[in-house]
Amino acid sequence: MKVAIMQPGYIPWLGLFDLIDSVDKFVFLDDVKLQRNSWDVRNRIKTPQGELYLTIPVRRTKGRDKLMINKALINDSHRWRKKHLKTIEFVYKKAEFFNKVYPFLVKLINNNINKLSNFNINIAISIAEKLGINKEFIISSKLKNVTGKKDVRLVYICKEIGCDQYVSPQGAVEYIEAKSPGGEFIKNKIELFYQNYQHPVYKQLYGNFLAYMSIIDLLFNCGFIRSLKIIRDGRRIKKGY
């Protein structure tokens, strides 16, 4: 069984959905520290002026630097949901599939979920299922017998859910390979693969193509039916050690 593990981010990019589509089980890693200005709380869309970040405000708490993702609460005093939706409407109202995608997005953003991890997980699963990606989704904080940090923790998760193959985002290669080729995965006889996503080019508004935007940019421009094929066009997975 093949698994991928990632922190739950806000309206993620195409590569996240390709990662989900490429495995049997997908784990949302929500019991790790929340990083400031990370993809946990923001993502970007393409506007007439270029890329624009949309950021979820999080309630300030004592010990913010040690706050876990699954303990973070959204700060709705900023009325950010309304602001994000107004910005998205303004930017994409002339997109071909605006009338189909925007109402769907309104329901995802305008809900009563105030826990950051649950909010992001709901968006990711809802979009995946709308695209036709139906996988087993698991939340790491609900697992038992999981400990350690970095690749040690990931190995514990793999064992706990019965997976013997792990697909890693390319960005994790540095800490996985830090001490030895293949790190803890190879030591524990878990087959290691790396996602090497090659971003596909698709029709966009506003001039030259910009890669690495939120998935919603693809959805507005190409629709739900065509988007999954476009996402899969970028798939490149290479064998680890």
Domain ranges of the chain: 2-239
Q: What 3-state DSSP class applies to 158?
A: helix
- CA 230-169-33 angle, to 5 degrees, is 125
- What pLDDT is recorded for position 63? 61
In the predicted structure, residue 183 carries a pLDDT above the cut 90: no
Give which of 184, 185, 200 is closest to 235, Cα–Cα. 200
Q: How confident is the model at residue 64 (pLDDT cuts 50, 70, 90)?
A: low
> How are beta strands 2-6 and 165-168 bridged, if at all?
parallel
In the predicted structure, residue 134 carries a pLDDT above the cut 90: yes
Q: How confident is the model at residue 178 (pLDDT cuts 50, 70, 90)?
A: low
Give which of 196, 134, 197, 138 is closest to 163, Cα–Cα. 138
- Cα separation, 42 vs 56, in Å, equals 6
- Cα separation, 144 vs 189, in Å, equals 21
- What pLDDT is recorded for position 203? 97
Amino acid at the residue 109: I
Give which of 8, 16, 17, 13 is closest to 35, Cα–Cα. 8
Can you give the pTM of this predicted structure? 0.95
Q: How confident is the model at residue 62 (pLDDT cuts 50, 70, 90)?
A: low
Tokens representing residue 180 in the block? 């030895």
In the predicted structure, residue 179 carries a pLDDT above the cut 80: no
The conformational region for residue 203 under phi > 0 = left, psi -120 to 50 = alpha, else beta, is: beta
In the predicted structure, residue 231 carries a pLDDT above the cut 90: yes
- What pLDDT is recorded for position 175? 76
